[in-house]
Amino acid sequence: MRRLRVLGAALAALALLLTGTGCTADGPRDGAGGVIRLRFQSLAWQKESVDANRRLVEEWNAAHPGIQVDYVQGSWDSVHDQLLTSFEGGEAPDLIHDASDDLADFAYGGYLADLRPLLPERLRSDIPAHSWQTTTFGDGIYGVPFLQEPRMIMADRKILTDAGVRVPTAERPWTWAEFRQTAKDLTAAMGEGRYAVAWPLKEPVSVSLNLGLSAGGRLFHRGADGKVTLRFDEGDAVVPGTIRAMVDTDRTASRSTLGSGGSDTLPGFFGGKYAMVPLGFSYRQQIVQQAPEGFDWIVLPAPAGAGGLAQGVSPQTLSIAEDSPHKKEAAQFLDFFLQPRNTVRLALGDWMLPTSTAALADPALHTPAYGWATGAAVARQLRPAPAQSVRGYPEWKDKVATPAFQEYYSGAIGTAELRKRLVEDGNRVLARYQRG
């Protein structure tokens, strides 16, 4: 950390020196003839998404010769550390693409602009209040949540049909108990060496917590004093307990996929080894691109519990750097970029769902093809991820929750030990961030 701060101070000094000559380390911030230049760092990575982002930037630039936006390609893999370095060095892009669960430390650290006085009422009112909660820290709003991704079940339609199981819908989903029983029926029908479900749990924390909302779990509880504590209640045990039982007791879920990423499970899914794979909604694009010809698949809602179809999500966000000298112009670009018709283009490019109420109503997002309609129906139930605004969550996730869930799902520890680690060890971590 000391080396990072020394580097940050050096970069800040260099930026100050260059600012005196009207430049930044990346070149002129304002061009000739009074043209304002804004840097927009996008994390789009799929070709369709990158193309949609670039086209919108080009359209803005063509219509606004006095405010030009430079597209900068970022990466999800390194965005947190890259942004931290650029903030401390005074070289952050004006417009920042990120995810809401990465914003808390930046917002509390004073690196992001409070958007309340900058955003037009049209944009504020078009996005539901529960989505704005994902980017609200203290009294300020530090990002516009614009795309979100529920976890759905990608299923082999033929296997489900041959087994004669009930196919759920958003109006009549499986319960968690019914999902477990259906998995038993499918595994029995599929034969030895094949499983009803592949759970890719390389990142077990977000899966466990976000799906846990459907069963009434929250884990993180904020008191009247604003401080957050961890509590592992009955609802918090439903989803982890179901997954553990499917792997350990029922043998209806493959143990070998517990450490896998979502993409790793697709070959087995295409080959009939797994009937169902719970994946993020955007994985549909990979299935369309990679599935063998004639592969018949369907998108199903995740099971429901005491909380219905509720799921926790951490939407993709767009923020403005506090150090940007052109916040007003950056907000004008955001208003253009997130017009409902443009948000639909971004959602289609990323195979995700918009937070915008007007954009979500677009017919293109309600076609039965590729499960768009099912996703749109589930979108109404999406809520902020339980740990959304909790300071210290990244440390708790990396040092406490990830190893605890990994050991629990592998069978190395039981529910009592899982609860002890998540709560007792976790509260010690959170307490350090909430002193004073």
Kindly compute the dihedral angle of the four CA atoms of residues 187, 192, 198, 203, in this order, to the nearest 10 degrees. Answer: 130
pLDDT of residue 426: 96
Q: In which band, very low, low, confident or very high, does the pLDDT at 387 lie, cut at 50, 70 and 90?
A: confident
Phi and psi angles of residue 393, each rounded to the nearest 5 degrees, phi first:
-60, -45
Written as six digits, the tokens of 368 are 């039965």
Residue 433 is which amino acid? Y
Interatomic CA distance for residues 325 and 343, integer angstroms: 26
For all residues of the chain together, what is the average pLDDT? Answer: 91
Q: In which band, very low, low, confident or very high, does the pLDDT at 2 lie, cut at 50, 70 and 90?
A: very low
Q: Which residue from 389, 386, 379 is spatially nearest to 127, judged by alpha carbons?
A: 379
Interatomic CA distance for residues 339 and 359, integer angstroms: 8
Name 435's bridge partners: none
Name 382's bridge partners: 311
- The b/e string for 361-392 (b: 16+ C-beta within 10 A; e otherwise) is ebeebeeeebbbbbbbbbbebbbbbbbbbbbb
Q: What is the pTM of this model?
A: 0.88
Q: In which band, very low, low, confident or very high, does the pLDDT at 391 lie, cut at 50, 70 and 90?
A: confident
pLDDT of residue 362: 97
The pLDDT tens digits for 162-200 are 999 999 999 999 999 999 999 999 999 999 999 999 999
Listing DSSP states for 188-228 in one string gives HHH-TT-EEE----SSHHHHHHHHHGGGT---EEE-TTS-E
Residue 19 is which amino acid? T
> DSSP secondary-structure letter at 45?
-
Q: In which band, very low, low, confident or very high, does the pLDDT at 30 lie, cut at 50, 70 and 90?
A: low
Name 313's bridge partners: 384
- Report the pLDDT averaged over residues 226-237: 94
CB of 128 closer than 8 Å to CB of 357: yes
Q: Which residue from 218, 250, 248 is spatially nearest to 234, judged by alpha carbons?
A: 218
Q: What percent of the chain has pLDDT over 90?
A: 84
CA angle 313-41-149, nearest 5°? 20
pLDDT of residue 68: 98
Q: In which band, very low, low, confident or very high, does the pLDDT at 24 lie, cut at 50, 70 and 90?
A: very low
Listing DSSP states for 227-269 in one string gives -EEE---HHHHHHHHHHHHHHHTS--B-GGGTT--GGGGHHHH
The pLDDT tens digits for 71-101 are 999 999 899 999 999 999 999 999 999 999 8
- Report the pLDDT averaged over residues 322-344: 98
CA end-to-end distance (rounded Å), the chain: 23
Question: Could you count the other beta carbons within 10 Å of the beta carbon of residue 263?
Answer: 12
The pLDDT tens digits for 240-251 are 999 999 999 999
- Three-state SS for 311? strand
CB of 310 closer than 8 Å to CB of 213: yes
Written as six digits, the tokens of 117 are 């006085």
Pairwise pLDDT comparison (365 vs 226), residue with the higher score: 365
Q: Which residue from 331, 336, 313 is spatially nearest to 321, judged by alpha carbons?
A: 331
